[in-house]
Amino acid sequence: MASADNDELPVPQVSSRAPELRISDAEREQAVALLRRHCGEGRLTLDEFSDRVGDVFAARTAREIERVLVDLPVLDGPALRAEASASLEAPRTTRTRRAVKWTVSVFGGNQQRGRWRIEGETNAVSFMGGCHLDLREAEVKGAEAVINAFAFMGGIDVIVPEGIEVVLEGFAFMGGRHAKVKDVPIIPGSPVIRVRAFAFMGGVSVRSKGPSTRGQRGVGTGGSGGSSTAARRAERHLERAQRHLERDLRHQQREASRAGRRGEVGPGAGAGAGAGGNVGGSNKARGIDAVAADVREDWPAVRAQVAPEGTVTIMFSDIEGFTAMCDRLGDHRANDILREHYRLVRDELARHAGFEVKVHGDGFMVAFSSASRALRCAQAIQRAQREWNDEHPENPVHVRMGLHTGEAIRDADDFLGTTVNLASRIADAANGDEILVSGLLRELCVSSGEFEFDGGDEVALKGISQPHRVYSVRYD
């Protein structure tokens, strides 16, 4: 197809070919160049660009290429040749949104995520706060985007799609800069993300992640190119849901097994024994099918629970003296008690619409969309734990809790930033069986008359420069 002179290279017109004819590498490169042009003009995000490039290189026929490009306007041959030869400075006639030049966080959190635009350079400044820049759905103009990141006793987190080249430069003084980018082949034609990090008693991190879960739209509107991308994303969601399902299934199997060792007979035991001939324990009598049926019944409620948006109340909890308990009782018995605590906490989270962010050892991190609901949940957990202690006086569990309300940086199903740090430090300052809250959370809830607070104390919180006034909440 190619002539001896590269300047005279004819532009393959994929749409004019017979749809089932095999395509060449040159035609794939043409399609990638076209996608790069549309990415630079804001029609495609970095996520969409990387997905479609994968579809292009997997394509074998002209029809498959057409499906990838079906919803994009057609560029003429000269424009495409210019793009393929890396002439990325061609004038743009349209701009969908203004480029972001500054992202500043002072004693708080700020973020850029979703569909936002970078042209040339953008600046991120964090002073005792947190900045979060998610480039997975960003529109990047040109062959390179530069992020100048200045972290002063704060943190800046940059997320890029997998397969995008990242260059981390700069220096750190009593701080750190870190890049954790997945080792995958660089996507041809993709822009370079250059991060110039300057950290003073702070940190700048750059990491790669898979496609954002915001808005699972198909790429194409009339062909399977879009549906293949949507299918991949749906597959990722299905895998994640399956992991949650399997986790809950394992939990219920363990509960059934413990019930069997105690000689208890659970629901459906007779049916299980009759059908499978299993005797001698409820775990065998019920069978895995019965347990799986229970999980499937509960799964819609679990799946419907999503992380709250906007202003959130973060709650941290942990067990006072759990390490000493492990040493005294041994790991096996201590972990049995810990699982009982997990069950108790999760029961109350389900009743009060709390979103379980993560569990680390004996501690929970939970997010609520309502401050009053968070306090009700914390009180209910403490009451339930007290009742459990009354039934097990030989091994009481004493839980300490800390809560704070504010704007937190949401990263998929996780939360970051000063609001999270403050809630964690307040929990560290609590005693066993105590609920401590920030002054802001108290102000939000005190006018209702539903909750009783003490007079408060000024406490120094680890890693926080100024003392904070915290209040204990009654739950009798």
For residues 313-321, give the mean pLDDT: 94
Is residue 92 situated within a structural domain?
Answer: no
pLDDT higher than threshold 70 for residue 241:
no
pLDDT of 385 > 70? The answer is yes
| Residue span of the structural domain in which 275 resides | 235-303
Angle at 167 between CA 164 and CA 172, to 5 degrees: 140
- Looking at 193, 209, 225, which one is the last position of a domain? 209
DSSP one-letter string for 298-309: HHHHHHH-----
Which stretch, 5-9, 336-340, 405-409, has highest mean pLDDT?
336-340
Alpha-carbon torsion, ordered 301, 113, 52, 34, to 10 deg? 160
What is the average pLDDT across 3-11? 40
Residue 273, both tokens: 């024994």
Q: Do 260 and 363 fall into the same domain?
A: no
Question: What backbone torsions phi and psi does residue 57 show, to the nearest 5 degrees?
Answer: -70, -20
Beta strand 434-438 with 468-472 is antiparallel
Looking at per-residue confidence, does 366 or 277 come out higher? Answer: 366
- What's the CA gap between 170 and 188, in Å, rounded? 26
What pLDDT, on the 0 to 100 scale, is given for residue 128?
Answer: 82
CA–CA separation, 139 and 36 (whole Å) = 11
Provide the token pair at 271: 């049916």
Is beta strand 117-127 parallel, antiparallel or unpaired with respect to 102-106? parallel
Same domain, 63 and 113: no
Helix (H) or strand (E) holding 111: strand 109-112
DSSP, residue by residue, 208-240: EES---S----S-SSSHHHHHHHHHHHHHHHHH
Check whether residue 174 and residue 192 sit in a common domain.
yes
| Residues 203 and 140 placed together within one structural domain of the fold | yes
Q: Give the type of residue at 174.
A: M
Contact partners, residue 445, CB within 8 Å, separation at least 6: 371, 372, 375, 451
Q: Is it the case that residue 240 has pLDDT exceeding 90?
A: no
Q: Tell me the CATH number at 333.
A: 3.30.70.1230
Q: Which range has highest mean pLDDT (141-155, 184-198, 267-281)? A: 141-155
Q: Provide the 3-class DSSP secondary structure of residue 190.
A: coil
Q: How many CA atoms does the CB half-sphere of 216 hold within 13 Å?
A: 13
Structure-token pair, residue 388: 């459990």
Q: Which two tokens stand for residue 395?
A: 């091994």
Residues 455, 440, single domain; the answer is: yes
SS3 state of residue 7: helix
Note whether 341 and 385 are within 8 A (CB): yes
pLDDT at 258: 62
Choose the weakest-confidence range: 38-42, 97-101, 444-448: 38-42
Q: Which of 193, 213, 214 is nearest to 204 (CA)?
A: 193
CB of 157 within 8 A of CB of 411?
A: yes
User: Do 157 and 167 have their domain in common?
Assistant: yes
Output the DSSP codes for 13-65: -GGGS-TTSB--HHHHHHHHHHHHHHHHTTSS-HHHHHHHHHHHHH--BHHHH
Q: Tens of pLDDT along 287-304?
A: 444 444 544 444 444 433
pLDDT beyond 70 at 211 = no
Let me know whether 309 and 458 are in one domain.
yes
Residues 260 and 355 in one domain: no
Q: Are residues 351 and 466 in the same domain?
A: yes
Q: What share of the chain is helix, strand, coil (3-state, %, to 5)?
A: 40, 25, 35
Domain count, the chain: 4
Looking at 283, 303, 323, which one is the last position of a domain?
A: 303
What phi and psi, each to the nearest 5 degrees, are found at residue 300? -55, -40
Q: Token pair of 69, please? A: 């490009």
Residue 222's alpha-carbon distances to 42, 44, 51, 64, in angstroms, are: 21, 17, 17, 12
- Write the secondary structure of 246-293 as one string of H (helix), E (strand) and C (coil): HHHHHHHHHHHHHHHHCCCCCCCHHHHHHHHCCCCCHHHHHHHHHHHH
Same domain, 278 and 316: no
Are residues 330 and 416 located together in one domain of the fold?
yes
Spatial distance between the Cα atoms of 97 and 437, rounded to a whole number of angstroms: 41
For residues 177 and 197, what is the distance between their CA atoms, to the nearest angstrom?
Answer: 7
